[in-house]
Amino acid sequence: ALTGQQGDRRREERERGITIDLGYVYADLGEGSLTGFIDVPGHERFVHNMLAGASGIDCVLLVVAADDGVMPQTREHLAIVELLGIRRALVALTKIDRVEPARIAEVQQQINGLLTAGPLAGAPIFPVSSIRGDGIDALRTALIEEAARTAARSDSGHFRLAIDRAFSVTGTGVVVTGTAFAGRVRIGDELLLGPTGKRVRVRGLHAQNREVGEAHAGQRVALNLAGERLAVEQIHRGDWLLHPLLHAPTQRIDIDFQLLPGEAHELKHWTPVHVHLGAQDVTARVALLEDASLVPGERAFAQLLLNAPSHAVHGDRIVLRDQSAQRTLGGGRVLDPYAPPRNRRRAARLEQLRALAQPSLEQALPPLLASATNGIDPQGLERQFNRPREGWQLPHGVLEISTRLGPRLFDRARWSELEVILLAALQR
């Protein structure tokens, strides 16, 4: 009703009347530019597909049917949206042509009660009928206003894209699509693909379903790739397409983790889980770094030991589901994508994680350097935070020292202490 297009691409979806996989629709809602919609499954069996599509979106359009009301999957989807850090929402109360006005008011109360305790409290609710067209114009107007408020994402970082589709086009070759998480990409750029780091070249670009010469963070992007012996069978949902400097596959990630308040039991150390990062779903173990268990609703530092290589940068959002992929346990924010295998629970390491819990590199750097005896490699920080060095504003008291192995950053006071220690040793 909003776009005039069908979001379900598969014949099985249309026959059964149920969304199974991600659907992609682009439409001009009336403001002259294309708005991109990612249609995600609602069914509990396909939450893993929903997570692959929800990462990277700006605004969620939460759909609640007036006849069904708030369902268990509605609550799970809302929890996931909050864990992913999405803070803008509209609610479509659909199928109002099937129920009495009293039922509409009842479900509106349910929705308000569901949203009240969370960050999406006060999200506007639009009663609509896709059959009669009731409320569709009001919802379209609200979406146009949301699109106008969408701030352009910073494209200062190196390019990274989470792949959610890969296919072959006759006469064109391999095409991948996904949401650009950071940076810019141009035709002719060389990028690295997937955990193997296969080198590919960008032959063609579409952004928001239009042919372009350059695409940037926040856009839905389709890239026509060329590479030696490149085949679509080599590419999987969840793979990353990266600027070469960012390619450093990891299987240990330290996070700031929160267990959902609705969980019935404590989370134990070494619990097996499914980790959702970008469009990737990978199994892992959770190593709690402060206690042997975590109480529902509480936060703690944790290390994820992944069973397959992944890619992450500081600040990425992660969602954890249980071993059987039946329910969402909680989620967190990436602190260190290159976590150490040893001494992960020592006081000094926990102090580093508290420093990394700061939102930016500039805020995290001083406390990190204060405990770094041998300084810190700036290229490692550049990769960890995806912050090119030319854009850094180094805080006062940070020194950059040239060495035979390249530059290192030191805390000025710590550097002076090292000088005193060294001179005293030489004197002895």
For residue 107, what pLDDT is reported? Answer: 98
Contact of 152 with 218, CB cutoff 8 Å: yes
**DSSP β-bridge partners for residue 182:** 160
The tokens for 298 are 């509480």
Q: Based on C-alpha coordinates, what's the Rg of the chain?
A: 24
In this prediction, residue 32 carries a pLDDT of: 79
- What was the pLDDT predicted at 152? 67
The whole-angstrom separation of Cα 113 and Cα 178 is 34
- Asked if 89 contacts 60 with a C-beta cutoff of 8 angstroms, the reply is yes
C-alpha 248/C-alpha 311 separation (Å) is: 7
- Specify the pLDDT at position 89: 96
pLDDT at 151 (0 to 100)? 67
What pLDDT score was predicted for residue 164?
94
According to the model, what pLDDT value does residue 156 have? 81
CA neighbor of 177 nearest in space, from 24, 324, 50, 64? 24
The candidate with the shortest Cα–Cα distance to 123, out of 62, 214, 40, 204, is 62
pLDDT at site 90: 97
- State the pLDDT at residue 140: 95
Q: Give the three-class secondary structure for 42.
A: coil
CA distance linking residue 114 with residue 74, whole number of Å: 9
- Structure confidence at residue 56 (pLDDT): 83
Angle between helix 72-83 and helix 47-54 axes, rounded to 10 deg? 30
Question: pLDDT tens string for the chain (428 positions)?
Answer: 999 998 888 889 989 889 999 999 999 988 778 889 999 998 888 999 999 999 888 999 999 999 999 999 999 999 999 999 999 999 999 999 999 999 999 999 999 999 998 999 999 999 999 999 999 999 999 999 988 887 667 678 999 999 999 999 999 999 999 999 999 999 999 999 999 999 999 999 999 999 999 999 999 999 999 999 999 999 999 999 999 999 999 999 999 999 999 999 999 999 999 999 999 999 999 999 999 999 999 999 999 999 999 999 999 999 999 999 999 999 999 999 999 999 999 999 999 999 999 988 999 999 999 888 889 999 999 999 999 988 788 888 899 999 998 999 999 999 999 999 999 999 99
Among residues 149, 106, 132, 120, the alpha carbon closest in space to that of 61 is found at: 120
* Model pLDDT, residue 33: 81
